[in-house]
Each structure stands twice: as C-alpha cells, then as structure tokens.
Copies of this chain bind each other. A is one copy, B any other.
Amino acid sequence: MREVAALAGVSLKTVSRVINAEPGVSAELATRVAVAIERLDYRQNLQASSLRRVDGKSATIGVILEDIANPFSSTLHRAIENVAVKRGVLVLAGSLEEDEARERALVSAFASRRVDGLVIMPASHDHSYLLNERKAGTPFVFVDRPPAFLDADTVLTDNLGGARRAIQHLAAHGHQRIAYLGDLQSIMTAALRYQGYREELDVKHLPLDPELVRLDLRGTERAEAETTKLLALRPAPTAIFAAQNLLTIGACRALRRLGLHHKVALVGFDDILLADMLDPGITVIAQDPAAMGTAAAELLFSRLDGDRSPTAHRIIPTRLIARGS
C-alpha cells in the first residue's frame, strides 16, 4: 500500500479511501490511485484491515459439519456458500465426525480467526461453552440438531413428522409389522425419528414389538447385518423403516441378497442418489439440506445485520417420495 501511495503520489489514507470507495476523493486522484493499484497488482490485506476497523469484520464465516464429504453436509455447505458469495463472504468449513472435542477445537480455531459468524451442526451435548463466544458478539446458528443448555437460532428438519409420515405410508399399505433401524440414540435427530415411529404406531393402534427395533446402528455394514437378522425372525417384519441414509443402503443390500426386495417394503429417511433407478425404487422421506443451508445462512446474516429479535427456530418440512416400496 505504501508503494501504491508513492507511485500515485498521494498519502496512505487516500489510497485507503479509494479502496473502500469512500466519498470525498477527486476523480483525478482516484484514477491515479486505481492505475497504481493495477500496475503494482496490489491486494488489500484484509487481516490488517479487519484488525483496524471498528466493527472488526473479517468477511468470513465458519461452518462446522458432521462430515464435509457426506452428501447431506456438503449440499448444506453449498447452500450456505451460495448465500455468502452474494455478500462477498468466504466460508471456512470443518468436519466433526461426531467428536465433541473436535467441535470445541473447531470453534476455538474459528474464534481465533475472528470469523463473523458460525453455522454449527453439533455433535456435543453441552453448548454452554459457547456463552463466551456469544458475549464476544459472534452470532451462531445451529442446523440439523438443536443446541443443549443454550438458547440459539436453529434450523431443523421435521424429524418427528417425517418419521410419522413414513409409518403412515407403510400402514396405509397394510403393513402391521414394521421394523425400525436407527442411528445412535444420543443423536437428537435419531431420537426424534424413533419417537415419531412409536407415536404413529400408537395412533394406528399397532403394537410396538421391541424385537423389531434396532437402535444405535452406525454404517451400512451394521445395518445390513441387523436387517438380515430381522428377516430371519418368525413372524418376519413385512416392512422396514430405516431412519438414516446409510442404514437404508445397508437394509437394501440385505434385502437384495436375500431376494426379498420385492416382498418386504423399505422406506428410508433422507434421499439417496439413484434411489429411483433401483428395482423397486426406494420410497424415502426426503430432507431438504439445500433449504436448510439457505435458511441457516439467511438467519446468520440477518443477525450480522443487527437483527436482535428473540431466537428463531425454523423447521424445514420433509417430503415423502413414493417410489413403490
């Protein structure tokens, strides 16, 4: 910047004014500075800039996701990016892998870099540690899972309603023995889906058979193994509700291996690419990660714009995509 000022024959402050498009610079000086910037290929140092600025904004937000590479997280990430680019804001992202310590480490790393705001898909079960960040004025929005011991803006899928829809669908097709495959109960969304399953069974006056319920499953392999065991029961379930993406895939694999994919119905929670090309197609309760990301980003930016209204809690509806299973 010093060089630019020297080349243009003006003071540092004038260069600063041109860069930030502040009013009160004559057209002639402005062009001279612009030319110098061009010639020297000068780039503003945003770190120094945000250090000095009163608001201290870094034009960067942080996003903490379960796993950047999984389709749900990455679609959400992308939706946030889409909102952010419009404001010239960049996105820092990190994966948690259900690791509470990593969550705190990431928050701390983001805080060190003075991000303007945070979108968090949490793994931990106590977010009181975030009170300090809040005091520092950093807004945050929780997505997919709610915070614990902390009131904050949230954007959630309608897990309970979605699970109930799934059971309604199966019950409407005459199924009475509906098995349940669920992820770790410690994950709030998984617990809600299970609750939806029980509630809807209750409404439909169907018995809840503990033998048909398999909780705390992680990954396709476990799901495939448990599904195989379920199908060996007598009487066997006539339908399976897999309450998570990978569990659906595992269940599907098991059904095909046993040649039962046309006999036993399968409904999954969360859509799967190519689910429409299987035979039969898999019916799913589709979440809408793009809508969640957009909502979360908009909420965050409205806070950054000074919105001080009480915490908002948005529920993003699910969609049942019937594909003949």
Selecting from A44-52, A186-194, A210-218, the interface stretch reads A44-52
Contact (Cβ within 8 A) A90 B94: yes
Complexed CA–CA distance, A43 and B58 (Å) = 16
Count of this chain's copies in the oligomeric assembly: 2
Considering only CB atoms, which chain B residue lies closest to A293 in the complex? B69
Chain B residues whose C-beta falls within 8 Å of the C-beta of A75 in the assembled complex: 69
Interface residues of chain A, those whose CB is within 8 Å of chain B, are 41, 43-48, 50-51, 58, 60, 67-71, 74-75, 77-78, 81, 85, 88, 90-95, 108-114, 132, 249, 252-253, 256, 272-275, 277-279
Contact (Cβ within 8 A) B91 A92: yes
Contact (Cβ within 8 A) B60 A92: yes
Contact (Cβ within 8 A) A43 B278: no
Given contacts A68-B77, A71-B74, A81-B94, 6 further A-B contacts (CB under 8 A): A46-B114, A74-B77, A85-B94, A88-B109, A90-B110, A274-B274
A259–chain B nearest beta-carbon distance, Å: 12
Chain B residues whose C-beta falls within 8 Å of the C-beta of A67 in the assembled complex: 78
A292–chain B nearest beta-carbon distance, Å: 13
